[in-house]
Amino acid sequence: MKRLGKASILMHFADLEDPRIERTKKHLLSDIISLAICAVIAGADGWEEIEDFGHDKFEWLKKFLRLPNGIPSHDTISRLFRRIKPKAFQECFLDWTQALHEQLGRKHVAIDGKTLRSSHDRNMAKNALHLVSAWSVENHLTLGQEAVDEKSNEITAIPELLQLLALEGAIVTIDAMGCQKNIAEQIVKQEADYVLAVKANQPTLHAALQEHFTHLHDTDFTDAEVRRYNTRQNAHGREEERCYYVSPVPESLHRAGDDWAGLQSVGQVISITQRDGKEVSDVRYYITSLPVRVKAFASAVRGHWGIENSLHWVLDVTFDEDRSRIRKDHGPENFALLRRIATSVIKQDTSSKQSIKRTRKRAGWNNQNLLKALTARP
């Protein structure tokens, strides 16, 4: 592994705790972890394909892995990943992201959840795995994940995920599920700012925001300090206009908002989309610890969708995550992290303009392309 140099992500998994009994160890833990990461980057989507990759690339892998007993079977690989503690596996990945922290910085962290639809196991009465992920919007980097067995449990998972992250100076955006007073307080305590979507799960606050912005529009913004910003976009056969409004927290909201740590302003976004002669509008409300700065607010709201477009969409379309049949023990969560590792590694090569799908194929075809991905720095 040393031949890859200190830049390789594989170096950060060297201290992972081995869950196996000593007498059963025929293959080195570091070899199996490195094999799996390389294989998933190169297009493998399951345990059998990791084994196949190992056999096909054996001579190349021997240049930096020891492989004393050859390539492990897919059953051996599966058993290991089913037993590795996801927290420990993730800590190694976080060690890599922390190594990038000083170089990249963390300006905008988006938090959102995703369900692995085929990970349920009826025979074991096991629900589909739901993962809450933290995504660095500017750096296209997964910062961490927290697993729950129900989407409704995001409320408990988000604080645990935030604790893993160094958030100082960042802006954290979360959808309405994370619009909770304890979450806002935690973000402020970690010396970051928040932009939280407000929906019907906070009925008093939502109604107060509706009333406030309705009054502002009815009076043509004449009696309030409001910042406005409009954008227009034409893409994929549709035209979309977004109108952003930010105002200080009004007196009428103090009863609804005085317990929200750091709350400085409130926002509204009106989206008007025209496609095929039809017009659809959508109105959303937000609370934020940011001052009344409409472009910063607009950037945070718009950037939040990066976790959907740059991570979740990629995982479904390129990695086919929703159809993965990996179900047993810690296997689904650990393989989900392998996918996120692969996505993050590939995206660090900012010199490449290729799609992730094409990059994975080329990494599988050409050893130098895989080596470039493993050692890439933005």
Residue-level pLDDT at 119: 65
- pLDDT band at residue 121 using 50, 70 and 90 as cut-offs: low
Residue-level pLDDT at 124: 53
Three-class secondary structure assignment of the chain: CHHHCCCCHHHHHCCCCCCCCHHHCCCCHHHHHHHHHHHHHCCCCCHHHHHHHHHHCHHHHCCCCCCCCCCCCHHHHHHHHHHCCHHHHHHHHHHHHHHHHHHHCCCEEEEEEEEEHHHCECCCCECCEEEEEEEECCCCEEEEEEEECCHHHHHHHHHHHHHCCCCCCCEEEECHHHCCHHHHHHHHHCCCEEEEEECCCCHHHHHHHHHHHHHHHHCCCCCCCCEEEEEEEEECCEEEEEEEEEEECCHHHHHHHCCCCCCCEEEEEEEEEEECCEEEEEEEEEEECCCCCHHHHHHHHHHHCHHHHHHHHHHHHCCCHHHCCCCCCCHHHHHHHHHHHHHHHHHCCCCCCCCHHHHHHHHHHCHHHHHHHHCCCC
- Close Cβ partners of 183 (under 8 Å, ≥ 6 residues apart): 155, 158, 159, 162, 174, 194, 196
Averaged pLDDT, 58-82? 96
Record: fold of 97-312: Transposase Inhibitor Protein From Tn5; Chain A, domain 1 (3.90.350)
Averaged pLDDT, 285-289? 97
Residue-level pLDDT at 1: 52
Residue-level pLDDT at 123: 58
Task: Give the least confident one: 38-52, 62-76, 141-155, 265-279.
Answer: 141-155
Residue-level pLDDT at 251: 82
Residue-level pLDDT at 179: 95
| Residue with the larger pLDDT of the pair 276 and 358 | 358
Residue-level pLDDT at 169: 92
Residue-level pLDDT at 91: 93
Residues 19-29: tens digit of each pLDDT: 999 888 999 99
Residues 231-243: tens digit of each pLDDT: 998 876 788 999 9
26, 40 in Cβ contact below 8 A?
A: no
- List 146's β-bridge partners, or say none: 132
Task: Give the least confident one: 99-103, 164-168, 216-220, 325-329.
Answer: 99-103
Mean pLDDT (the chain) is 89
Averaged pLDDT, 30-37? 96
Averaged pLDDT, 256-271? 87
Averaged pLDDT, 131-144? 90
Averaged pLDDT, 316-323? 87
Averaged pLDDT, 212-219? 94
pLDDT of 76 higher than 60: yes
Sequence spans of domains, the chain: 2-84+348-374, 97-312
Averaged pLDDT, 164-182? 94
42, 338 in Cβ contact below 8 A?
A: no
- pLDDT band at residue 310 using 50, 70 and 90 as cut-offs: confident
pLDDT of 36 higher than 70: yes
- pLDDT band at residue 101 using 50, 70 and 90 as cut-offs: low
Residue-level pLDDT at 149: 63
Residue-level pLDDT at 252: 76
pLDDT of 34 higher than 90: yes
Quote the CA–CA distance of 190 and 161 in Å, as a whole number: 12
Share of the chain above pLDDT 70, in %: 91
